Structure 1
Amino acid sequence: MVTSAVVQEAVSGAVSFLFSSRGEKASQEELIERMEMAHMRLNLALERTRMMPITIMTLFCLKKKLKDVSEECGDLLSRARGRQQMVPSLRRKIMHTVLPSFIVPDQDLLSSSVVGRFERFVKEAGRFVRDVESGCSLSHYRFLSSPIRHLLQGKGLRYDMVRGSKAFSLGISTDSVEEYGRVAWLCFHYKDRKAPLKTCRLVVALRLYESTNIVGITAKCLRSLGPQFKSLVEDATGELSHLPTQDVSYFDSVWCEGLVELTTESIPDPFCCIANGLSKPCASNIISSELTGRFPQEVMSVTFCSCFSASEYCSRSSTDEARINAIKAWPPLQMEVIFLPHISDEFPDGSSLHQKEEQIQTEAIDCFINQPGMTDYRMHWFSAHGYVSFSVSKPIAKTRRASKRRR
């Protein structure tokens, strides 16, 4: 009697399981179809906006969120399909009903609430596409200032000014880089024939937003270079602040493929320091360094070139007259500093960036004195979030003998 009761219960449970399994399978197939449609819609939104220039920081964060949701949807959909392909035998179904404790539990299945969540994201993706498209329309830019409006439309900018002994030039090229939006390459050159040591060149790679102040960012980058460039920066910043926008000329920007590569190398994570539409020390929660916050979030790289007199620098830092006299014949030394605020390094430098900035000129002069044949001196600074490269070069002075031979 006990055996008969167990068998009857097992058969009844098996039949019930078979019918419920059929209903479950039909329900899962419908949910999988809805998930497939949601996944395609999410990918469609990302594909449509792939090469559209995004000019608002918050839209970058929204795009990153939709991309993560699309990947999550694809992974869950793949697991659900694999679950549907595993059709157990009748014997396994009966054993599953009779001896549930000895069978591995079913994998997670789709539910209406789970699928509904992704379908809600599809609606957000549609709004995202409309926001990006409206931001790309020409009518949208009519409210912006003239320089940023032309740059966001893909134009380049050029301005040249000569006043007395001073010459000033500003050039900007732009292009749209996937995942980075509209990117600009800015070159600022300042020269004074009466004061050659005031000649400098600043190159900045930055992302463009509707709120970007080109002149303000360039001036801030100049002021962030360090105290040793203070007097030089004040003159260059003064000229830059009086930039007459009505005299600026625009042209169809031609982008170099090498600059696109530089963009991805300068900031490997396109969403570094961007979270929820706001700037923060680092999206990866890396400990901030001396370089964090020195430059605006939009800035990806800064290169600054200038000249300085070794004899004048030594006269301020040394009382050794023999040393000063030994380098009076040197031509001005050329210095280049490259800042990459978003590069991370696993082995940060233990020294201070401020110390490196104070040491570079003195150490370069010492090296050139001790090794007369050396013409280049380099120094690097690494941090958990930021990298700086210093380079000082000594031009080879032309002797009178060499000039006579050429004659």
Structure 2
Amino acid sequence: MCVYRDILRLSSCTGIGRSLAMAEMVGSAAAEEILKQAFAGLIGKQQHEEGRDEEEHHMERLEMAQIKLEAAVETSCRWQVMDASLLRWRKKLKCAARECDDTLRGFKQRAAEDEAREQEARGSSFPRRWARATKSIVTALLSHDNSYASSSSAAVRRFERLADSAGEFLRFAELGGTPRRYMFADPLIGHLLAGQELRYRLVRRGQYHLFCVRPIRLEEDRGREAALLFMYEDDEAPEKNLCLGSILRLSESTDIVGTIIKFLDLLVAPHFKSTAESVSKELAQLPTQDFWWVPYVDSSHRKLWNSIHSSMTQWFRPDPLCCKQHEPMPSYGGSSSSSTMKLSYVADLEPVIQLSLNRHIPLSEYNKHRSKAAEGDTSCHKNVPHLKIGLVFAPHGSSEGLLPSVESSAIEVIDGAEQSGAHTNISLEQLDEFMLPKAIDCLRQKAELTVYQMFWRSKHGAAFLLVRKTGLMKMPPRHVTGVGDRRFMIQRRRDPKLEKWVQLVKDFLDLWAAHAPRKLQSSIVEWIQKVDEKQN
């Protein structure tokens, strides 16, 4: 080294000396860099090993959390959990189990990629191994910093907390979600919760009764619901014909018939009071011993009904938890009427999602509601149009599109054309009072018109009212004498549960689909098309 320094001093003034000095500087820098990389390699290797151990520990903890979550969900699925809060809880646990599984897959994928890179590096040449090792060191230093370790640990702790809550969920579900050991107050509920469909049909002396209830299982937060249909027809007095439909939520304590009767008793629409009373009387007299049950899974229309039921229940009750906490339900009557207090909250009525009534307008009522301008008309009664009046009431309906300053609003639709100007701050009771006389005059004066509609919505609740022409009013023959007539009557009533129910729903949707939420309109239109294809 001494000789080397002497040579450098002797040559410092020459170009050779400057070149040698530069070489020394470069060599020292290279040596220093190699030394740094050596230390970094040792540190990086240690951190890499520690990071791998930590990831393996995280994977074990995540796997155990996932097992707990899935076990809780699968165990509860073997029970008949009906409470909406428990169903929401279970839905959260399902989502957590899927998310935990995705996170665990991510950990395993990174571990597999690291292992594959190491195996590939061991089989490569020295320069390539040196390059890969250097890249691995840098990656390890960047990927196993404190922020990464902190986020990974936080994710693992979160799933462990959710998994611990799964045990508490099972304890609640066991207390409130095992109907197999429940003594039902209503014998109908046990069958419906078991997935069976109720059917009842009676034909006697020209009078026809039909009562059907089918259970529907929807997404987790809505629980089990049912679609109900009751029809009464009298061949000799068609003005007495009526039809009731309803969608309601089921629970172990639901009294189906009792709930519907209570709701009908509180109905504030004046022109439907007599019909509601008749339906209540008929429902109360149904012979339960003559009911028969079939598995709903055997229904040929099951898939079709499930699809439209899902859309309609979201339409009629957008928030499945509204009124669940027993807050007062709003009044739908006029402010000056004694009936305004009738629809204060009654716990038994919260499950009602939708209720519809349809009836004929007899000649006496038709004449009563004609305007004074039409009183002098001496047209023969045979030309009087046969009218039907219908109401679809959704007590939990959405107020979407309603201005904050407006409590309620109603729009008029004539033959599908929406009329300008809306009635604001009007109750359902007030709307029903003036709608029928106006509808009768409108349909009578314009022969080409076939239907008059009103769409009403409030801060909490919606209703659809219509008056419709169905042909000329005429009395049917008192006795069926011909074989052809008798065969026609049998064919007409061959399968009314499927045919009439489908047609009633389709008629409603044809008239009101335009007022459905936009996100549901495509599924409703698709359902109508499927029905048309089946009927053709």
Q: How high is the TM-score relative to the length of structure 2?
A: 0.57
* Matched residue, 2:162: 118
Q: Tell me the amino acid that sits aligned with residue 378 of structure 1.
A: Q
Q: How does 1:342-381 map to 2 (within 5 A)?
A: 344=398, 346-348=400-402, 350-351=409-410, 352=426, 354=428, 355-381=430-456
Q: Deviations over 1:279-337 (max 9, x none)?
A: 6799xxxxx89699799333333221112247635635743353665595525411222
Cα displacement (A) at 1:209: 0.9
* Matched residue, 2:189: 148
Counterparts of 2:323 and 2:94 in 1: how far apart (Å)? Answer: 14
Stretch moving more, 331-340 or 293-302: 293-302
Q: Does 1:64 align with 2:86?
A: no
Aligned positions, number = 385
Check conservation: 1:205, 1:299, Cα contact below 8 A: yes
- Please point out which of 273, 276, 287 is paired with 2:320: 273
- Please point out which of 212, 227, 239 is paired with 2:254: 212
Check conservation: 1:344, 1:386, Cα contact below 8 A: yes
- Please point out which of 378, 396, 402 is paired with 2:471: 396
* Matched residue, 1:260: 306
* Matched residue, 1:320: 373
Cα displacement (A) at 1:385: 6.2
| 3-state SS of 2:214 partner | strand
Counterparts of 1:37 and 1:316 in 2: how far apart (Å)? Answer: 72
Higher relative contact order (CA 8 A, sep 6+): 1
Counterparts of 1:321 and 1:268 in 2: how far apart (Å)? Answer: 43
Stretch moving more, 270-279 or 373-382: 270-279
Q: Tell me the amino acid that sits aligned with residue 188 of structure 1.
A: F
Q: How does 1:7-406 map to 2 (within 5 A)?
A: 15-16=42-43, 18-43=45-70, 45-46=72-73, 53-74=80-101, 76-77=103-104, 89-91=136-138, 108-111=151-154, 113-124=157-168, 127=171, 134-135=178-179, 137=180, 140-159=181-200, 169-177=210-218, 179=220, 180-190=222-232, 196-223=238-265, 224=267, 226-243=269-286, 245=288, 247-254=289-296, 255=299, 256-257=301-302, 258-268=304-314, 272-274=319-321, 278=325, 296-309=349-362, 312=365, 315=368, 318-322=371-375, 325=378, 329-341=383-395, 344=398, 346-348=400-402, 350-351=409-410, 352=426, 354=428, 355-381=430-456, 387-397=462-472
Check conservation: 1:51, 1:177, Cα contact below 8 A: no
CA RMSD of aligned residues (A): 4.8
Q: Deviations over 1:81-127 (max 9, x none)?
A: 67768977313556899xx9xx9977721256334313313434655
- Gap regions ≥5 residues in structure 1: 283-287, 400-407
Cα displacement (A) at 1:265: 0.7
Check conservation: 1:344, 1:387, Cα contact below 8 A: yes
Aligned pair in 2 of structure 1 residues 19, 30: CA closer, same or farther (>3 Å)?
Answer: same
Stretch moving more, 215-224 or 66-75: 66-75
Counterparts of 2:461 and 2:113 in 1: how far apart (Å)? Answer: 50
Q: Deviations over 1:323-381 (max 9, x none)?
A: 66559552541122233455647434843462543443233223213321222233334
Aligned pair in 2 of structure 1 residues 368, 206: CA closer, same or farther (>3 Å)?
Answer: same
Q: Tell me the amino acid that sits aligned with residue 90 of structure 1.
A: I
Cα displacement (A) at 1:16: 4.9
Check conservation: 1:266, 1:340, Cα contact below 8 A: no
Counterparts of 2:178 and 2:370 in 1: how far apart (Å)? Answer: 58
* Matched residue, 1:403: none
Q: How high is the TM-score relative to the length of structure 1?
A: 0.72
Q: Deviations over 1:122-169 (max 9, x none)?
A: 43465577668843x3xx244543222233233333456799998755
Counterparts of 1:11 and 1:133 in 2: how far apart (Å)? Answer: 64
Check conservation: 1:339, 1:387, Cα contact below 8 A: yes
Cα displacement (A) at 1:262: 2.4
| 3-state SS of 2:375 partner | helix
Aligned pair in 2 of structure 1 residues 225, 332: CA closer, same or farther (>3 Å)?
Answer: farther
Check conservation: 1:347, 1:382, Cα contact below 8 A: no
Check conservation: 2:47, 2:141, Cα contact below 8 A: no
Check conservation: 1:66, 1:125, Cα contact below 8 A: no
- Gap regions ≥5 residues in structure 2: 1-28, 115-134, 334-342, 403-407, 411-425, 475-536
Check conservation: 1:13, 1:94, Cα contact below 8 A: no
Check conservation: 2:200, 2:290, Cα contact below 8 A: yes
Q: Which has the larger Rg?
A: 2
| 3-state SS of 1:212 partner | coil
Aligned pair in 2 of structure 1 residues 325, 69: CA closer, same or farther (>3 Å)?
Answer: farther
| 3-state SS of 2:245 partner | strand
Q: Percent identity?
A: 26
| 3-state SS of 1:305 partner | strand
Q: Deviations over 1:232-273 (max 9, x none)?
A: 32233234345554x342222444322211221122399933
Counterparts of 2:39 and 2:293 in 1: how far apart (Å)? Answer: 81
| 3-state SS of 2:372 partner | coil
Cα displacement (A) at 1:186: 1.6
Cα displacement (A) at 1:26: 1.2
